[in-house]
A and B are shown apart, each in its own frame.
Chain A
Amino acid sequence: MGGVHPHDNKISRECPIQPLPIAPTVYISVAQHIGAPSVPCVAVGDKVKVGQVIAEPGGFVSAFIHSSVSGTVKSIGPRPDLAGRPSTHIEIAVEGDEWLEGIDTTDTLITTLPEDNKATIEKIRLGGVVGLGGATFPTHVKLSPPPGSKCERVIINGCECEPYLTSDFRTLLEKGEQVVVGAAILRKVMGDVPCTIAIEENKPEAIAHIKEVIAKLGYQGIEVMSMKMRYPQGGEKQLIDAVMHRQVGSGALPISVGAVVQNVATALAVYDAVQKNKPIVDNSVTVTGECFPKQANLLVRVGTPLSYIIDYLGGVPADAAKIISGGPMMGRAVSNLDAATVKGTGALLFLTEAQTRRAPESNCIRCGKCAEACPMGLEPFLLVRLARNKDVEALEANAAQDCIECGCCLYSCPAHIQLLDSIRLGKGSVLGAIRARAAAAKAAAEAAKK
Chain B
Amino acid sequence: MTSTIIWTIAVVTVLGLVLALVLYLVAQKFKVEEDPRIDEVEKAMPGANCGGCGFAGCRAFAEAAVKAPNLDNNFCPVGGNDTMAKVAAILGYEVKAKAPEVAVIRCNGTCEARPRVNDYDGYASCQVKATLYTGDTGCPFGCLGCGDCVNACQFGALSMDPATGLPVVDQEKCTACGACVKACPKLLIELRPKGPRGMRMFVSCVNKDKGPVAKKACANACIGCGICAKTCTHDAIVVENNVAYIDPAKCKLCRECEAMCPTNAIHGVNFPKPLDKDAVKTRIKERQQKAAEAAAAAKAVKEEKKDE
Q: Do chains A and B touch in the complex (CB under 8 A)?
A: yes
Q: Which of A322, A335, A428 has the most CB of B within 10 A?
A: A335
- Among A38-46, A160-168, A417-425, the stretch that binds chain B is A417-425
Q: Is the CB of A85 within 8 A of B140?
A: yes
Q: Taking chain B's interface residues, is the majority helix, strand, or loop, or is none over half, making it mixed? A: loop
Q: Which residue of chain A is the closest to B132 with respect to CB atoms?
A: A83
Distance, CA A156 to CA B20, complexed state (A): 74
Distance, CA A248 to CA B123, complexed state (A): 31
Q: Is the CB of B125 within 8 A of A84?
A: no
CB of B3 within 8 A of chain A? no
Distance, CA A238 to CA B15, complexed state (A): 63
Contacts of B132 on A, CB cut-off 8 Å? Answer: 83, 333
Contacts of A356 on B, CB cut-off 8 Å? Answer: 121
Contacts of B117 on A, CB cut-off 8 Å? Answer: 335
Given A335-B118, A425-B128, the answer on whether A418 and B140 have CB atoms closer than 8 Å is no
Q: Is the CB of B127 within 8 A of A425?
A: yes
Q: Is the CB of A85 within 8 A of B134?
A: yes
Binary per-residue interface labels of chain B (51-94) against chain A in the complex, 1 for a CB within 8 Å, 0 otherwise: 00000000000000000000000000000000000000000000
Binary per-residue interface labels of chain A (77-112) against chain B in the complex, 1 for a CB within 8 Å, 0 otherwise: 000101111000000000000000000000000000
Binary per-residue interface labels of chain B (118-143) against chain A in the complex, 1 for a CB within 8 Å, 0 otherwise: 10011101011001111110001000
Distance, CA A424 to CA B132, complexed state (A): 11
Contacts of B134 on A, CB cut-off 8 Å? Answer: 80, 83-85, 335
Q: Is the CB of B128 within 8 A of A421?
A: yes
Contacts of A421 on B, CB cut-off 8 Å? Answer: 122-123, 125, 128
Within 8 A of B (CB), among A138-169: none
Q: Is the CB of A425 within 8 A of B121?
A: no
Within 8 A of A (CB), among B98-157: 117-118, 121-123, 125, 127-128, 131-136, 140
Q: Is the CB of B121 within 8 A of A358?
A: yes
Residue from A333, A357, A358, A425 within 8 A of B131 (CB atoms): A425
Distance, CA A135 to CA B146, complexed state (A): 30
Within 8 A of B (CB), among A389-430: 418, 421-422, 424-425, 428
Q: Which of A80, A357, A418 has the most CB of B within 10 A?
A: A418
Q: Which residue of chain B is the closest to A84 with respect to CB atoms?
A: B134
Q: Is the CB of A424 within 8 A of B133?
A: no
Distance, CA A80 to CA B135, complexed state (A): 13
Distance, CA A335 to CA B116, complexed state (A): 12
Q: Is the CB of A357 within 8 A of B128?
A: no
Distance, CA A424 to CA B130, complexed state (A): 13
Report A319 CB to chain B, min CB distance, Å: 15
Contacts of B118 on A, CB cut-off 8 Å? Answer: 335
Q: Which residue of chain B is the closest to A419 with respect to CB atoms?
A: B123
Q: Is the CB of A422 within 8 A of B123?
A: yes
Distance, CA A424 to CA B128, complexed state (A): 9
Contacts of B133 on A, CB cut-off 8 Å? Answer: 82-85, 335
Distance, CA A80 to CA B140, complexed state (A): 11
Report B297 CB to chain A, min CB distance, Å: 49
Report A387 CB to chain B, min CB distance, Å: 10
Distance, CA A422 to CA B124, complexed state (A): 10
Contacts of B121 on A, CB cut-off 8 Å? Answer: 322, 356-358
Q: Which residue of chain A is the closest to B121 with respect to CB atoms?
A: A358
Contacts of A82 on B, CB cut-off 8 Å? Answer: 133
Distance, CA A96 to CA B117, complexed state (A): 36
Report B184 CB to chain A, min CB distance, Å: 15
Q: Is the CB of A418 within 8 A of B122?
A: yes
Distance, CA A83 to CA B140, complexed state (A): 10
Distance, CA A357 to CA B121, complexed state (A): 7
Report A99 CB to chain B, min CB distance, Å: 36
Binary per-residue interface labels of chain B (171-187) against chain A in the complex, 1 for a CB within 8 Å, 0 otherwise: 00000000000000000
Q: Is the CB of B140 within 8 A of A84?
A: yes
Distance, CA A76 to CA B272, complexed state (A): 52
Contacts of A422 on B, CB cut-off 8 Å? Answer: 123, 125, 128
Contacts of B140 on A, CB cut-off 8 Å? Answer: 84-85
Q: Which residue of chain A is the closest to B140 with respect to CB atoms?
A: A84
Q: Which residue of chain A is the closest to B129 with respect to CB atoms?
A: A421
Contacts of A83 on B, CB cut-off 8 Å? Answer: 132-134
Report B270 CB to chain A, min CB distance, Å: 34
Q: Which residue of chain A is the closest to B127 with respect to CB atoms?
A: A425
Q: Is the CB of B131 within 8 A of A424?
A: yes
Within 8 A of B (CB), among A260-282: none
Report A306 CB to chain B, min CB distance, Å: 14
Distance, CA A421 to CA B125, complexed state (A): 9
Distance, CA A85 to CA B133, complexed state (A): 7
Distance, CA A312 to CA B128, complexed state (A): 34
Distance, CA A60 to CA B82, complexed state (A): 57
Distance, CA A85 to CA B104, complexed state (A): 26
Report A220 CB to chain B, min CB distance, Å: 47
Distance, CA A322 to CA B135, complexed state (A): 15
Distance, CA A293 to CA B174, complexed state (A): 55
Report B242 CB to chain A, min CB distance, Å: 14
Q: Which residue of chain A is the closest to B133 with respect to CB atoms?
A: A83
Residue from B123, B135, B136 within 8 A of A418 (CB atoms): B123
- List 13 A–B pairs whose Cβ atoms lie within 8 Å, in order of A's numbering: A82-B133, A83-B132, A84-B135, A84-B140, A322-B121, A335-B134, A335-B136, A358-B121, A421-B128, A422-B123, A422-B128, A424-B128, A425-B131
Nearest first, the 3 A-B pairs at minimum CB distance are: A84-B134, A421-B123, A83-B133
Chain B positions within 8 Å of A, measured between CB atoms, are: 117-118, 121-123, 125, 127-128, 131-136, 140
Besides the contacts A83-B132, A356-B121, what 16 more A-B pairs have beta carbons closer than 8 Å? A82-B133, A83-B134, A85-B133, A322-B121, A333-B132, A335-B117, A335-B118, A335-B133, A335-B134, A421-B122, A421-B123, A421-B125, A422-B123, A422-B128, A425-B127, A428-B131
